[in-house]
């Protein structure tokens, strides 16, 4: 990656858990996680790959895995309690098609082969509402160019948010990019959760706060 490009990338920080990791969680991350780590060769030999960026506690990853047993599901997350939670579910439910990348998403995007991903899921990314934190936001021109490269032609990107401010930013970035078609076409078509998604912990929090939820869908154009 060029130095000039690196400066444009959003900054990412591992969120510190409110409580210290338990002994069980530490063991899961140190030992059990190794069985499910992202394997570049395995992924690139498959033409049926889904990617979820920032999977939180992994509910949607589990749902994708169960409903798409012929696909490989890649989950990227840096929040350690969430990773430990997903590892526990993979083991208890004996799921065979999930791979975890517990590092910065840009490291993963640089490893993935061109046109190797069929669908990308970005559910409730942190809106970083304070102006001084805008540089930490995920959706940016650099990010969109990265995912454009790895998406197959007509590949789909799902983005959900309950932040009206971030909604405007997300839409603006995608529309300026001009490499993606906004499938919803208008905000009125963004209120219903797509059948591919389930209600996650973060969506439940939005419901408790009575926040409006927006489900955006974009398609890669040739």
- Using CB atoms within 10 Å of the CB of residue 3, give its burial: 0 to 12 exposed, 13 to 18 middle, 19+ buried: exposed
Of 70, 126, 162, 165, which is the active-site residue?
A: 126
Number of other residues whose CB lies within 10 A of the CB of residue 78: 16
d(C-alpha 52, C-alpha 211), whole Å: 23
Residue 165 appears among annotated catalytic residues: no
Q: Are 117 and 49 in contact (CB under 8 A)?
A: yes
Report the DSSP beta bridge partners of residue 76. Answer: 53, 101
What is the sign, positive or negative, of the torsion defined by CA atoms of 21, 23, 24, 29?
A: positive
Catalytic residues: 126
């Amino acid at each position: 990656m060029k130095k000039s490009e690196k400066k444009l990338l959003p900054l990412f920080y591992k969120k510190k858990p409110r409580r210290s990791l338990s002994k069980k969680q530490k063991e899961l991350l140190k030992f059990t996680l190794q069985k499910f780590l992202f394997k570049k060769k395995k992924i690139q030999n498959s033409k049926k790959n889904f990617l979820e960026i920032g999977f939180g506690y992994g509910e949607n990853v589990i749902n994708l895995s169960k409903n798409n047993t012929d696909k490989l599901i890649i989950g990227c997350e840096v929040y350690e309690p969430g990773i430990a939670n997903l590892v526990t579910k993979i083991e208890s439910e004996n799921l065979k098609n999930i791979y975890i990348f517990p590092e910065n998403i840009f490291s993963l995007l640089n490893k993935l082969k061109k046109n190797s991903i069929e669908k990308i899921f970005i559910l409730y990314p942190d809106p970083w509402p304070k102006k001084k934190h805008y540089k930490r936001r995920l959706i940016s021109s650099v990010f969109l160019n990265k995912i454009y490269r790895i998406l197959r032609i007509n590949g789909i990107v799902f983005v959900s948010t309950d932040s009206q401010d971030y909604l405007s930013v997300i839409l603006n970035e995608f529309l300026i990019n001009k490499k993606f078609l906004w499938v919803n076409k208008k905000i009125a078509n963004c209120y219903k959760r797509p059948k591919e998604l389930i209600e996650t912990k973060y969506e439940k929090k939005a419901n408790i706060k009575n926040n409006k939820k927006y489900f955006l869908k974009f398609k890669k154009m040739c």
